[in-house]
Amino acid sequence: MMKAKVFAPVNLALIKYWGKKNTELRIPANSNLSICLNKLGTRTEVEFKKELKNDEVIIDDKEVIGRDRDRVVNHLNKIRKVANKNLKARVVSKNNFPKKAGLSSSASGFAALTLAGTKAIGLNLNKKDLSRLARMGSGSACRSIDDGWVEWLAGDSDKNSYGKSIFSKDYWEIRILVVVLSQKEKRVSSTDGHAVANTSPFFKTRLNNVNKRLKDLKEAINQKDFSKFGELIEDDCLSMHSVMLTSKPNLVYWLPETVRVMRSVQSWRENGLESYFTVNTGQNVFVVCKPGNEDELADKLSQLKGVIEVRRDGIGKGARLV
Ligand code: DP6
């Protein structure tokens, strides 16, 4: 049977991927680092069938059309090319996080599609090749193939740009609180945002600093120095948003509620309750803490104005068959 079912996790970037050296191949401007989440993710089933005349794409119980469908079909074409087979597929995909919450689903989605699609069509790629292929669907998806703490080695070609685990999921227990805020406006997609990163006068500055920050972060993880770790991830988040805010067109992804969460995290920290924030291309905030502070933080966060939900998660494995 030409069918496979896969779960792939959402990953959270601690050092961000923002801007590309090569748009078509999705080669990032800088190496970056993320953790795979344990619970949040996408479950995808792919079946190749002779009877199908066209690819069918169903995401969260709805048939997908337009740009989103094209992106999936393009990815299926890449898989068909590697396998040298020409069958159409039915793709059924479901995210286990709240819809319309603005949580990026392209990473887990394309990682799941890559593993399920290649397995269903009869390929047996190693993790490096799976990661390279997932990268072509969405850059950040290359970090949802391998387990735990994953570094995306920027490289400079299709061959040497991929995600690789540098610490296992159990190496250091960090908790992640996903703070879901009410969505009011449609945001600019990450893909469109990457394309204008180099119009910011601060983009060069970011690229001059980011490699040192990545190195320092790996050192902090090595030493399990949570304070150093947290400072560095907040720095990198704000460095990326400085680029976004000053691009043409400028990209303000934050809502007032986003800033409220960021400021609250900092003020609680000044009073001894330690946690750190990071934000991607949306209004939602990820707060990281040590296990002992999780309950108190989740409680405090859920009482803030505009917070719809606080999801608790940990560090998990990469994409796998289910
Ligand atoms: C801000 O991987 O979604 O989340 O390669 O164009 O699909 P494409 O972009 P995408 O960009 C993610 C940007 C980010 C930072 C990160 O995850 O590293």
User: Could you report the per-residue pLDDT of 185-199, keeping only the tens digit for each?
Assistant: 567 889 999 999 999
pLDDT score recorded for residue 24: 97
Q: At residue 165, does pLDDT exceed 80?
A: yes
What is the average per-residue pLDDT within 254-273? Answer: 97
Q: Band the pLDDT of 20: cuts 50, 70, 90.
A: very high
Q: Band the pLDDT of 233: cuts 50, 70, 90.
A: very high
What does the longest C-alpha to C-alpha distance in the chain come to? 64
pLDDT score recorded for residue 105: 82
pLDDT score recorded for residue 156: 98
Would you state the torsion angle of the CA atoms of residues 215, 217, 223, 224, taken in this order, to the nearest 10 degrees?
Answer: -160
User: Could you report the per-residue pLDDT of 115-161, keeping only the tens digit for each?
Assistant: 999 999 999 999 999 999 999 999 999 999 999 999 999 999 999 99
Share of the chain above pLDDT 90, in %: 94
Cβ atoms 144, 36 nearer than 8 A: yes
User: Could you report the per-residue pLDDT of 293-322, keeping only the tens digit for each?
Assistant: 999 999 999 999 999 999 999 999 999 999
What is the average per-residue pLDDT within 54-78? Answer: 96
Q: Which residues lie below 8 Å from residue 93, measured CB to CB, with a gap of 6+?
A: 42, 43, 44, 45, 57, 58, 59, 60, 109, 112, 113
What is the average per-residue pLDDT within 252-258? Answer: 95
The residue nearest atom 7 of ligand 1, judged by CA position, is 138
Share of the chain above pLDDT 70, in %: 98
CA of 292 to the centre of ligand 1 (A): 31
Question: Does ligand 1 have an atom closer than 6 angstroms to the CB of 26?
Answer: yes
Q: At residue 228, does pLDDT exceed 60?
A: yes
**CA distance readout (Å), 78 to 86, 155, 160, 310:** 11, 21, 18, 37
Q: Band the pLDDT of 97: cuts 50, 70, 90.
A: confident
Token pair 């800033």: residue: 259
Ligand 1, atom nearest to 152 Cα: 18
Ligand 1, atom nearest to 240 Cα: 1
Q: At residue 101, does pLDDT exceed 60?
A: no
CA of 291 to the centre of ligand 1 (A): 28
**CA distance readout (Å), 174 to 77, 252, 320:** 38, 29, 22
Ligand 1, atom nearest to 20 Cα: 5
Tell how far CA 227 is from the center of its chain.
Answer: 23
Q: Which residues pair with 237 in a beta bridge?
A: none
Cβ atoms 13, 280 nearer than 8 A: yes
Q: At residue 226, does pLDDT exceed 80?
A: yes
What is the average per-residue pLDDT within 162-189? Answer: 91
Q: Band the pLDDT of 99: cuts 50, 70, 90.
A: low
pLDDT score recorded for residue 1: 78
Question: Does ligand 1 have an atom closer than 6 angstroms to the CB of 105?
Answer: no
SS3 300: helix
